[in-house]
Amino acid sequence: MKKEEIPSMMELQISWQFMQSVKRRILFCSLQMSISKAFSLAVFFCIINYIGLHIYNFFLHYMSLVCFETLVFMI
């Protein structure tokens, strides 16, 4: 390996500090965003679960009625 290809310790330290500052900034922004996003996602999932539960209960009820009717007709 040539000497020019190996980055110096100073360059590595500067790039490491830069990465740390970028990561800190991203974490801070995501923390601010995550509070509002988490709340909206929780509301969204509650609505989806509520609708899904009703659809599931409807299909379960409908399928049990269909199975019951087919059993009655078979007898």
Interval 21-55: pLDDT, tens: 888 877 776 677 667 777 787 888 878 888 877 77
In Å, the largest CA–CA distance within the chain is 90
pTM: 0.36
**Residues in CB range of 15: below 8 A, 6 or more apart:** 7
Structure tokens at 37: 């996003």
**Residues in CB range of 7: below 8 A, 6 or more apart:** 15
